[in-house]
Amino acid sequence: MARLKTAFASTFICALLVAACGGTTTPPTGTGVAATSGAPKADIKIGLATSKSGAANFYNPQQSNGALLAVEQINNAGGINGAKLQLIIEDDGSARDQGITAFRKFIEQDKVAAILGPTLSAVAAGAHPVAQQSGVPVIAISNTGLGIVGKCDYGPCDWIFRASLGEQTAVPETVKAATSKLGLKKVVIIYGDGKFELDDLTIFKDAFKANGVTVAKEIAYTAKDVDFAPFVTQAKAEGPDAIVASSLAGPAGKILDEVAKQMPGKRVIGGNGLNSAALLSNANAGLMIVGTAWSRASTDKANTDFISAYKAKFNTEPDQFAAQSHTAMLVLADALKRSGNPTDKAAVKKALEATKDLPTPLGAFSFTADHDVKQPTFVMTAKDGQFTPFQ
């Protein structure tokens, strides 16, 4: 009996741990997204690797929901030339190894036609080469760092596409708008030690140089820093016209608070890391200036339709990450239809490359020759808990 109790307890604890750590998920069952019975053709499987656990888990459920909504709409409209889409979602755990495992499962076990994700650029650096080696098309839905498409550190990356506005495009637009409207002459950059933040540092420095603005000081912090008062005090000593936060949303919130206290009237310019719904509840969010890929205020029909459908299905407002995953699925479905044979990955890749001005919530969508997204940048600030255009 005692052994039985021990075995039961062990099983229960294991189950709890698996649940706590965000085990793999197979949402198609029971989600109503794919209809397998009676379908004239076999389902077309699409993999979505996204951070449902780990440090970047706050991008969900929006990232999953955006793609799920698109799949539902596409299937309800007749699918891909009669075949239904089936979305398989796996947790990348915000970790490189788990992202690689998810990609391997999609390719070797699920035999997917294409993959979306993973969430973080650092995870993509590990997972994308797996798809590249296997010749499976990938659309990055939230990787904004350097080396995701075009010239990649791991060699050729011609099977990789990106539907998320890269910092190389968004940051120069943001800097240009901020410089012209605020008359910037001198800034200080406070930056983190992650890949995303370091990439942003490089891009910001180049953008300020191109706009004739002096970067008086670069101040590094680490992921383990909890208090940002010393960094802002140090920045203040340089007498800058604005502070640049090359950071994720958490540290950015603390930097915004410190700038409001120590440097009243100064603005905080940031990259995509500041583009977070959680930051909008910060009392000083109105100080930030950030370039984004999506504007809720856009009256483009594809965008207003998306917002209405998302709110109706999930009873909450979408954010940029939902809009980007939704767009990536629309772009992929469009390419699958045009490819003539969705099981022919080379044909799908060719069709993706030919994507031209597709109406999406992000605006008219095309890929560049480097497989990067070609779309407008929205330079935004925050007001009344919403992102609003920076004017």
| Residues lying near another protein in the complex (CB under 8 A) | 13, 16-17, 19-22, 53-58, 218-227, 229-231, 233-234, 236, 249-250, 253-254, 257, 261-262, 276-278, 281-283
Could you tell me whether strands 288-292 and 267-270 are parallel, antiparallel, or unpaired per DSSP bridges? parallel
Spatial separation of the C-alpha atoms in residues 264 and 89, rounded to whole Å: 45
Residue 126, judged by CB atoms within 10 A of its CB (0-12, 13-18, 19+), counts as buried
Spatial separation of the C-alpha atoms in residues 267 and 179, rounded to whole Å: 11
Nearer to another protein, 221 or 365 (CB): 221
48 forms bridges with which residues in the sheet? Answer: 89, 116
Nearer to another protein, 84 or 266 (CB): 266
Nearer to another protein, 220 or 309 (CB): 220
- Greatest Cα-to-Cα distance within the chain, rounded to the nearest angstrom: 78
Nearer to another protein, 163 or 190 (CB): 190
Nearer to another protein, 32 or 230 (CB): 230
Give the position of tokens 């011609």.
158
Q: Which two tokens stand for residue 215?
A: 């970067």
Residue 316 beta carbon to another protein: minimum distance, rounded to whole angstroms? 12
Are the C-beta atoms of 177 and 289 separated by less than 8 Å? Answer: yes
Q: What DSSP string runs through 220-260?
A: E--TT----HHHHHHHHTT--SEEEEES-HHHHHHHHHHHH
- How many other CB atoms are there within 10 angstroms of residue 376's CB atom? 15
Residue 307 beta carbon to another protein: minimum distance, rounded to whole angstroms? 21
Q: Which two tokens stand for residue 258?
A: 């410190």
Integer Rg of the chain from CA: 22
Residue 295 beta carbon to another protein: minimum distance, rounded to whole angstroms? 21
Task: Select from 82, 89, 38, 158 the least CA-distant residue to 336.
Answer: 82
Nearer to another protein, 234 or 386 (CB): 234
Q: What type of residue sits at position 299?
A: T
Nearer to another protein, 58 or 314 (CB): 58
Residue 155 beta carbon to another protein: minimum distance, rounded to whole angstroms? 30
